[in-house]
Structure 1
Amino acid sequence: MAKSPTHHIPWGALGPWLALLGACIFFATQSDRFLTGDNLSLILQQVMVVGVIAIGQTLIILTAGIDLSCGMVMALGGIIMSKFATELGLPVPVAILCGVGVTTLFGLINGLLVTRIKLPPFIVTLGTLNIAFAITQLYSSSQTITDLPAGLTGLGTTFAVGGAAVAWGAVLMLVLYALAWFVLRETAAGRHIYAVGNNAEATRLVGIPTQRVLLGVYVAAGALYGIASLLSVARTGVGDPNAGQTENLDAITAVVLGGTSLFGGRGVVLGSLIGVLIVGVFRNGLTLMGVSSIYQVLVTGVLVILAVAADQLSRRGAR
């Protein structure tokens, strides 16, 4: 019985890579521009915001939770940073810290409601999604904030690699994935996250503080949304109150496509990076082919259903 999971793990890990490779090969045959350095670096720039959000979403989904508020919390963080830097005249590092502080506070609130009051994560984060959206619109007066200081948009600037322009924000995203991979794989805290997702009650009985682990996960996710706020502002060059409208579903889609189980306890954070890239490649490739954006949304929906179905089938097979 103990050997059965090993028959399924390689396919769960390989599936996203094969899907990404297949998508790249397909779009390379459809457009000469797809495999150019400029286009590939553009894909990285397009996915860096959702990519960082997806790290936080992965941590939460590994504990068998979900966070619907991530996109709106990210948008609020961006507005806080932009307004504090432009209207209050705070130094850029202080404005950034304030934005990250607000998103981390939302993570703390989500975590406390889930751990202390035992509310379902779906309901909690649906509520905080609406709260974050309302605060964002009220505080910004639904107006885009422009004329940002250079420090806020620095991560949107690029440097040349073999003729391609790579954004510093994309590099930060990759560094954060490497850090998250190390924490989950090599530290006790990472092993505790997997344990809580597998069986929270059994984990509690062996002396691991499950409530503290869960709270830490939501707080860490909130901080990551704050970093995503900075990347969003840096990429667009403005504080946009209408940002984050689809990022929650994009991040969940990426995590599921990357092989992380919605039932918790199983998945690799690097898989979420591959999932983000799959979504980015599909959208970019379909755009190059001249396909309407509504079909891109349709394809994303089909992909996430297929990924969840594959997760369910592999769980049944592992039993």
Structure 2
Amino acid sequence: MKFKSPSLAELHAFLGVCQLGSFRRAAEVLSVTQGAVSQAILRLEQRLGCSLFDRQATGVVPTARGREFQKLVEVHVAGLESAVTQFGGAPAQRKVRVSVLPTLGTRWLVPRLAGFQALNPDIEVELRQFRFDEDFTRDDVDLWIALKLPGKKWPRGIQGRYLLGKEITPACTPALARNLKQPADLAARPLLHHINYPGNWAVWMEGAGVKKTLPALGPGFDLGNNLIVAATAGMGAIVIQPCLIESELRSGQLVLPFDICVPTGRGYYLCQRSATANTNRAVDVFAAWLQQQAVDTARV
């Protein structure tokens, strides 16, 4: 059987724009991108062979044909919503799609997921590819764990909540730490560094009261994970967020030679579209769990 009627996605986009007078606001309510709404409206207009909206200074308003079509379909879409409610309600949303920085995901989040799954067996967590040029317009992600730099502002419509990772401290193998008596002694050791943040050692040295503010750096690495592996291999000392080396600290592969943590001005934040807050139980449960995990990490 061939259906002539538009898809529900097209009808939802159409009615959303009719009711809100804005493609952007309709996209936020529907939890999709503005481009997805525009494409749905375009397909609908092509199917019906007429223009459905006029763009005016005050917003987007339906054309005469658009108002006519709105009257015809609005009651039927409302009927579908009512039928689902009467049948027992829509099934709970049980999937959370998360984009997280690779090193933080591998070293801090993934080892904890089994614990979340044990507490919430009905919720599925999917890790989606992280994009370093993220603009938060993707419709395949519910939550982001992103790095916030000093002075950075989240895009409009995105809310960010601090999780962890603002402070750094040195770490190295027990053998290398054996002869470290004071922070200044580190300057004589190979200082491994992340090539995106070459100033981390200077920041820590200054915060630790070391007069020499420009230490000579050793080998650099473009991924935090590689930096950590190099440190466990004995190549030198690193300065890093403790949450990224929990496993190595537990096993004794790495130690913290000095109990001095220094803030960098950066940190990992949990980000979400403001329009989708409190609209998906699974996302809300996972977000609350993440924040509690961050609190527990800070206590250790």
TM-score band w.r.t. shorter chain: under 0.3
Higher helix residue share: 1
TM-score, normalised by the number of residues in structure 1: 0.20
Q: Of Structure 1 and Structure 2, which has the larger fraction of its residues in strand?
A: 2
The normalised TM-score by structure 2 is: 0.21
Larger radius of gyration: 2
